[in-house]
């Protein structure tokens, strides 16, 4: 199996590293990357073939991973269309719907994936959708590639990828936002920057590990920390009074709505191929 990455940015780099970590040989990976410095870095780091020429990169490929920016994907897809010969296409570009990609590439063998930034350290969460024409073996190939950088979740309805974007795609930013707030609070209590960072990060790491390894629901774990008339109860009462949970849910709905808007803005609203 030969894999060609179109685009050699951070997510492509993470996937290449993940594949090699699972024993996938570098001679079976090629990258099409227009930036010469990036090509050199990829060749040095992974020993893969890196080229600026689309046709050269695609030669002999079985799977093509589209890892360019969403705004570039339509142009890349139209250039790609006459060069395709039945390869599976995996798009990790946010917002571009499979139907639009199918029209631009004239292919039905399309898988859409929505990874998140923890994939960069192989701790990601990726939502995946496949067009009906994608075979079981192709779905398995896509799964094997995307699982090299973390956990995966397949959805049957492509619209659910907008919800995946709102929860796990944008989710790391919500976590970082909360960590920032804890760090600011720690600084106000008198801790220095390094101490505030350690207190906040280790609390998140420990709580996340506990939640991930426990059989109990997170609400049960929260209750165990919350003693009656204690400090945690006072803090959570303050959060409830300020509708923190409702505001977080509203924020995810705003993110999901924006994901749908991006699909309209970046895609082909008319359904007509130019």
Q: What's the rounded mean pLDDT across residues 85-111?
A: 95
Per-residue pLDDT, 274: 36
Q: 268: pLDDT confidence band, cut at 50, 70 and 90?
A: low
What fold does the segment set 171-259 form as a domain?
A: ProC C-terminal domain-like fold (1.10.3730)
Measured CA to CA, the distance from residue 247 to residue 133 in angstroms comes to: 40
The β-bridge partners of 170 are none
Q: 269: pLDDT confidence band, cut at 50, 70 and 90?
A: low
Q: Which helix (H) or strand (E) holds 5?
A: strand 3-6
DSSP assignment, residue 18?
Answer: H
Q: What's the rounded mean pLDDT across residues 136-160?
A: 97
Neighbours of 53 (CB within 10 A): 10
Q: Where in the chain do CATH 1.10.3730.10 domains reside?
A: 171-259
Q: Which residue has the higher pLDDT, 77 or 268?
A: 77
What fold does the segment set 3-157 form as a domain?
A: Rossmann fold (3.40.50)
* Apex 29 CA angle, 28 and 30, nearest 5: 125
CB 259 within 8 A of CB 165: yes
What pLDDT, in 10s, does the model give residues 241-265? 999 999 999 999 999 999 999 999 9
Neighbours of 209 (CB within 10 A): 10
What pLDDT, in 10s, does the model give residues 167-191? 999 999 999 999 999 999 999 999 9
What pLDDT, in 10s, does the model give residues 5-62? 999 999 999 999 999 999 999 999 999 999 999 999 999 999 999 999 999 999 999 9
Measured CA to CA, the distance from residue 13 to residue 31 in angstroms comes to: 10
Q: Where in the chain do CATH 3.40.50.720 domains reside?
A: 3-157
Nearest alpha carbon to residue 132 among 155, 154, 109, 161: 109
Chain centroid to CA 7: 15
pTM of the predicted model over 0.85: yes
Measured CA to CA, the distance from residue 195 to residue 268 in angstroms comes to: 50
The Cα-based distances of 162 to 94, 214, 265 in angstroms read: 9, 29, 14
What pLDDT, in 10s, does the model give residues 117-141? 999 999 999 999 999 999 999 999 9
């Amino acid at each position: 199996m030969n894999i060609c990455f179109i685009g050699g940015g951070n997510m492509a780099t993470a996937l290449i590293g993940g594949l090699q970590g699972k024993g996938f040989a570098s001679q079976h990976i090629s990258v099409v990357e227009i930036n010469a410095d990036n090509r050199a870095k990829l060749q040095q780091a992974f020993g893969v073939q890196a080229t600026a020429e689309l046709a050269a990169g695609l030669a002999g490929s079985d799977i093509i991973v589209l890892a360019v920016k969403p705004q570039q994907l339509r142009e890349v897809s139209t250039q790609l269309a006459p060069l395709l010969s039945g390869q599976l296409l995996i798009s990790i570009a946010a917002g571009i719907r499979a139907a639009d990609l199918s029209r631009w590439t004239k292919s039905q063998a399309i898988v859409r994936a929505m990874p998140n930034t923890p994939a960069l350290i192989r701790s990601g969460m990726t939502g995946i959708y496949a067009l009906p024409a994608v075979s079981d073996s192709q779905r398995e190939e896509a799964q094997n590639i995307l699982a090299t950088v973390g956990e995966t979740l397949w959805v049957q309805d492509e619209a659910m990828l907008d919800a995946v974007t709102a929860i796990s795609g944008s989710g790391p930013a919500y976590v970082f936002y909360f960590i920032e707030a804890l760090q600011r609070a720690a600084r106000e209590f008198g801790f220095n920057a390094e101490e505030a960072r350690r207190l906040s990060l280790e609390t998140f790491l420990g709580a996340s590990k506990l939640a991930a390894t426990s059989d109990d629901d997170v609400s049960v774990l929260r209750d165990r920390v919350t003693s009656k008339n204690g400090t945690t109860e006072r803090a959570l009462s303050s959060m409830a009074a300020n509708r923190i949970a409702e505001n977080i849910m509203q924020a995810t709905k705003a993110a999901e709505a924006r994901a749908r808007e991006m699909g309209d803005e970046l895609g082909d609203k008319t359904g007509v191929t130019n």
